[in-house]
Amino acid sequence: MEQLKLGKAIQILKRKKYREIIFDFNQTEFTNGIGTLGVCNQNELNALNASEPKLKMNRGIQLWHATISKMPTINQLTLVVKKQSTSWFLITAFPGLPALPLPQKNMNSIDLELSKQYWADKVFLEKQKEVNN
């Protein structure tokens, strides 16, 4: 929580019972970013010099994955919190912008379809394994 003071909250999104707070961190102070980008849109793969995406099992479902020689850094962080009776409860925090949940069988049909459409265009980035000669 102390580190969040170094960033600036630039947007708060309400999603059902959660709040997604997007923080931006100064690129001059954080020249190496605050973390690496793990998911991108398929149309961004060429600019990142990533491999062709392949479907792979991830968290029990088929999702797109591509390898990349150097993981891109990012200066945004998403903090997800949920209101409890007297305070906010931290659900998760990750480098990058908000994302829809992965498709799950227990979702209502509208949320499930939105999630499937969203993740059909997303690609998980994986660092290319180095080959030792």
pLDDT digits (tens, 9 = 90+) for 61-88: 999 999 999 999 999 999 999 999 899 9
Residue 103 in tokens:
């498709």
pLDDT confidence of residue 133? 60
- Mean predicted confidence (pLDDT) in 89-118: 92
Q: Is the pLDDT of residue 35 over 70?
A: yes
Q: Is the pLDDT of residue 51 over 90?
A: yes
Q: Tell me which residue has tokens 């459409």.
A: 117
pLDDT confidence of residue 132? 66
Q: Is the pLDDT of residue 57 over 80?
A: yes
* pLDDT over 90, % of the chain: 76
